[in-house]
Amino acid sequence: MKRFKILASLLLLLAAKPCLLQAKTPPDGVVPVENFQLERYLGLWYEIARTDNRFERGLESVTAEYTLRDNGGIRVFNRGWNAEKGTWNEVDGKGYKIGDPDEGTLKVTFFWPFYAGYHVFELDHEGYQYALVSGDNHSYMWILARTPTLPQSTVDALLEKAAAAGFATNELVWVDHQTIHPSLVKKR
């Protein structure tokens, strides 16, 4: 009987695999940017602010680094400082460009086979210096930048865009970047 349950579970997982691998659509109010160039988006990003989520709760100095993988996918490496434990939390994920090639939409996983949408809905097209990113619903949103801080006028414009898209910007977690990971000292 135990073997049957394991086999049934595996078959169910295999049957469900196509829908698990598909990213969802962005939430209402979020329209991914056009003219998105993945090559320019790659590299190190600092998390400026985020909606509170259990995966990052209590983390400061959060960064995300995107690099190309040999198979054409994207390596998504996130790191954050847990001051309470005095340790760096790191997670290595995978991402893939999906949808219209010119649209700022990817699917990302940190827990295969479950993928989530990654929707860039505001971007500094000129220099790729800041981005506003959404998950598949209004519970996940990030303000990212190539530097640990942004000019207040840029932050205000991003907050306005996020609020117009339905995000609770008054509840954002603002990320402190005082603790620097040794590997990033030269990049700063």
Question: Does 123 fall in a domain?
Answer: yes
| 3-class DSSP assignment, residue 21 | helix
Range with the poorest average pLDDT among 18-22, 74-78, 119-123, 146-150: 18-22
For 48-90, how does the pLDDT look when each residue is reduced to its tens digit (9 = 90+)? Answer: 999 999 989 999 999 999 999 998 899 999 999 999 999 999 9
Burial of 33 (0-12, 13-18, 19+ CB in 10 A): middle
Question: Does 43 fall in a domain?
Answer: yes
Domain CATH for 39: 2.40.128.20
Mean pLDDT computed over every residue of the chain: 87
Model pTM score: 0.85
Helix, strand, coil shares, percent, the chain, to 5: 25, 35, 40
* Token digits of residue 7: 């086999």
126: CB partners within 8 A, 6+ apart = none
pLDDT at 102: 94
Reply yes or no on whether the pLDDT at 6 is more than 60.
Answer: no
User: Which residues span the domain enclosing 159?
Assistant: 23-184
